[in-house]
Structure formats: structure tokens, C-alpha cells
A and B are shown apart, each in its own frame.
Chain A
Amino acid sequence: MTQAEQEIRFQEKIDREIKIEPNDWMPDEYRQTLVRQISQHAHSEIVGMLPEGNWITRAPNLRRKAVLLAKVQDEAGHGLYLYSAVETLGTSREQTIDDLHTGKAKYSSIFNYPALTWADIGTIGWLVDGAAIMNQVALCRTSYGPYARAMVKICKEESFHQRQGYESLIKLCNGTPQQKAMAQDAMNRFWWPALMMFGPSDAESTHSDQSIKWKIKRFTNDELRQSFVDATVAQAEILGLTIPDPNLKWNEARGHYDFSEINWDEFWQVVKGNGPCNKERLAARVKAKEEGAWVRDAATAFAKKRAMKKSA
């Protein structure tokens, strides 16, 4: 079969909603797009553990501490599911991780913002996991089988992440005026970065069209962002928090909320490595790998020793 015939057959499978599996023929560009997107997603799960992990020892009580620990542990699991999915595309796990450490691969820019107060932890669960869920639910039907299966598993685990965050904010918002102010401050700092999580606007997005055609993506960045805004406004009202956007208002004709233009300058600055925490986050990941090397070495040595004993 010629390349062109294979491409036609591939697109027909996609159009008929037949999932693509690791050993199936696929266009190189489809493979590359998946490697880029899934590894970026995996890195986001892992780097995303850093701002929250920082608060585990400072959680206000044992319940919150256990919950935060469980959430951060989930994110590690999500990273693993996704690294496994990337590996099915013929990349090496080690290389994928090293690409993050050398700055070649990206991760969600939201994690380059610091978690300054306890209210940030609730806000991250509510808005950041909320935005991630919006994206991930759509990806449960993505065309690549291993990615779709990882997403289904992740989505099952995610909803507790958002709910625990919201619950924590409910407490703060019904607490002292200082606690309420702390929650509003967190909202003010996280709202726009959360909207940026959906990526550049459709007009600017380089990979969007082909990804939609291949059904890697089911919705565009702007569609998902709009769904997120529409879902979140009422949740903020119940908390009694103000969304920091004077132009946010219901548009009867569109059936959606209108909102201000995102500060894309800030978005690209953070993507390019100039956000508040980019360097710190990468340094923490590199340090973790280097300082964990002896554990991996010891485990390897122990496995070898045991295998030798068995065969002796």
C-alpha cells in the first residue's frame, strides 16, 4: 500500500470513530503530535505536584493534610499513566523525562505561578483542576487508544480534586473576614492563569485544525475555555467571590458569558520561561531525579542480586 493510500485508510478509521492502537499504521505527524501533547500533559501532572506538595506540611489540620497528600499522590499516578501512553508511541521514558529537564518539552504554564497562601491550595483544586477536568473530559474520546484510556482513569480520579478544593474555599469564605479576603486574593491571582490553561486562542493556535481532523482534540481551545467560564461563574457566586473581570457578563444572544481579552503577552512570557517560578520548578525536578538516583540504583542492584540467587 502506498503512503497516500495508508493515509486515506487512516483518516477513514478516524472518521468511523475507530481508535488507533500502538501498532497500527499512523502518519508520522500524528505520532509526533501525540508525543508532544501527551508528554506535555504528563509533565504537567508531575510539575503540578510541586506548588501543592509545598503545602502538605503546612495544611491547617490533619484532615486537610491527608486529603492534600492523597491528591498529590493521584497526580503522580496521572503522570505515570501518561508517561506509559507516550512510551507506546515508541519513545523512551528516560528521554521523555530528560526533555523536560533540558527545557525542550513544555508543561502547563499554570504551575509556574506560586502557591502563596493556604487559600491558593483550595483555589488550585477548584480552578486549576477544574480547568484540567474540562480539558480531560473532552480527551476521554481522543482517537489514540492508550491516551483515551489514560484519560478515562484520570477523569475518574480528578473530580475529588476539584471538590476538595471547593469545599476548602467554602470554609474560608464562610470564615473570618481575613479568611474571606485571602480566598478573594487567591481568586484574583489564579483566575487569568486558569483561563490561559486552555492555550492560545483558536486564531493563534498552530496545531488546532489538524488535531481536530485527527480527533486528537474534540473541541478547540476557545470552546473549552468558554465552557469553563460558563460553568465557573455560578460556583464563584455561591462562594461569594468576585471574578476579577469587569467585562464578565451574560450574553443572552450567544447563550454564554462574555469576558475580557486574555493578557497574551503574559501567557507567552510564562511559556517562554519567564514566569515567576519556571526556573524553580525545573530545578526541583532535576534535583529530584539526581538525588533519587541512588534509590533507583539500589533497587536495580537488589533485583540483580536476587535474580542471581534464584538462578544459583
Chain B
Amino acid sequence: MSTNEWPLWEVFIRSKQGLNHKHVGSLRAPDATLALENARDVYTRRSEGISIWVVESAQIHATDIDEAASFFEPSDTKIYRHPTFYEVPDGVKHM
């Protein structure tokens, strides 16, 4: 039996209270418990985190890189979603 059978896990760490969990890397482990322990040993040796998430990489669904242009096109064309699109007279304050 080999580690080939161990799934790949993506590791997310919250560095401090009030911040998002952020992707830091990946590792292989037989189950979630060991994935969390390994993630602690590998990614938080210098107090980098107060909370860890591990997610099996196979469970992550991602956008297709080849379709990125058309997939994100609807937002690229709507520049009126940005405040800078609108003109206000010079004298207007607090806006």
C-alpha cells in the first residue's frame, strides 16, 4: 500500500481573528484528522494561524481557465458598477 491512496488536501489558514482563511498550500494525508495535524506541523510552525481548514482537493470545483474570458466577460463590460464611472460637480463633498 502506498501514499498514492492518500488524497490531496488544500490547506486554508486564518492567521488572526477577523481575517479570512487563506489558501496556503496542500499536503497528502489519509484522513481529515491527520490532514489537520500535518497542516499544523507544516504550515504553522511559527504561529501563523489560529484556525485551519482542510478540504479534499477533489472536492473543489473551479472555473475553466480556457473559458475565463467569456465566463468573466459580463462583469468586464459593466464599468458603470464602479463609482468612478459617475461624474459629480467639483463642489460636492462627502461622496
Q: Judge whether A77 and B26 touch: CB under 8 Å.
A: no
DSSP majority for the B interface? mixed
Q: Which residues of B contact A150 (CB under 8 A)?
A: 25
DSSP majority for the A interface? helix
User: Does any Cβ of B come within 8 Å of A303's Cβ?
Assistant: yes
Q: Which residues of A contact B34 (CB under 8 A)?
A: 299, 303
A86-94, A113-121, A187-195, A202-210: which one contacts chain B?
A86-94
User: Does any Cβ of B come within 8 Å of A80's Cβ?
Assistant: yes
Question: In the bound complex, how far is the Cα of B42 from the Cα of A89, in angstroms?
Answer: 21
User: Does any Cβ of B come within 8 Å of A302's Cβ?
Assistant: yes
- Give chain B nearest CB distance to A89 CB in angstroms: 13
Q: Judge whether B30 and A94 touch: CB under 8 Å.
A: no
- Give chain A nearest CB distance to B23 CB in angstroms: 10
Q: Which residues of B contact A153 (CB under 8 A)?
A: 24-25
Q: Which residues of B contact A84 (CB under 8 A)?
A: 25-27
Which of A21, A84, A150, A293 has most B Cβ within 10 Å?
A84
Q: Judge whether B4 and A299 touch: CB under 8 Å.
A: no
Q: Judge whether B31 and A307 touch: CB under 8 Å.
A: yes
Q: Judge whether A73 and B30 touch: CB under 8 Å.
A: no
Q: Judge whether B1 and A300 touch: CB under 8 Å.
A: yes
User: Does any Cβ of B come within 8 Å of A296's Cβ?
Assistant: yes
Q: Judge whether A303 and B8 touch: CB under 8 Å.
A: no
User: Does any Cβ of B come within 8 Å of A261's Cβ?
Assistant: no
Question: In the bound complex, how far is the Cα of B28 from the Cα of A299, in angstroms?
Answer: 12
Closest to B38 in A: A80
Could you say which interface size class chain B belongs to?
Answer: 20 to 34
Q: Given A23-B65, A80-B27, A303-B30, are A73 and B45 also a contact pair (CB < 8 Å)?
A: yes
Q: Judge whether A94 and B1 touch: CB under 8 Å.
A: no
Question: In the bound complex, how far is the Cα of B43 from the Cα of A24, in angstroms?
Answer: 26
User: Does any Cβ of B come within 8 Å of A297's Cβ?
Assistant: yes
Q: Which of B28, B41, B43 contacts A93 (CB 8 A)?
A: B28
What per-residue 1/0 map shows which CB atoms of B1-35 lie under 8 Å from chain A?
11111101000000000000000111111110110
Give the number of chain A interface residues (Cβ < 8 Å).
27
Question: In the bound complex, how far is the Cα of B31 from the Cα of A24, in angstroms?
Answer: 30
Q: Judge whether A80 and B42 touch: CB under 8 Å.
A: yes
Closest to B8 in A: A87
Q: Judge whether B31 and A77 touch: CB under 8 Å.
A: no
Q: Given A23-B65, A299-B30, are A81 and B25 also a contact pair (CB < 8 Å)?
A: yes
Q: Which residues of A contact B3 (CB under 8 A)?
A: 93-94, 296
Q: Which residues of A contact B8 (CB under 8 A)?
A: 87
Taking A24-B65, A153-B25 as known contacts, 8 extra A-B pairs with beta carbons closer than 8 A to each other, sorted by chain A number, are: A73-B45, A80-B27, A80-B42, A84-B25, A94-B2, A150-B25, A296-B1, A299-B30
Please list 6 pairs of residues, one from A and one from B, whose beta carbons are closer than 8 Å in the complex, sorted by A's number.
A23-B65, A77-B43, A84-B26, A87-B26, A153-B24, A296-B30
- Interface residues of chain B, those whose CB is within 8 Å of chain A, are 1-6, 8, 24-31, 33-34, 41-43, 45-46, 62, 65
- Interface residues of chain A, those whose CB is within 8 Å of chain B, are 21, 23-24, 70, 73-74, 77, 80-81, 84, 87, 92-94, 149-150, 153, 157, 293, 296-297, 299-300, 302-303, 306-307
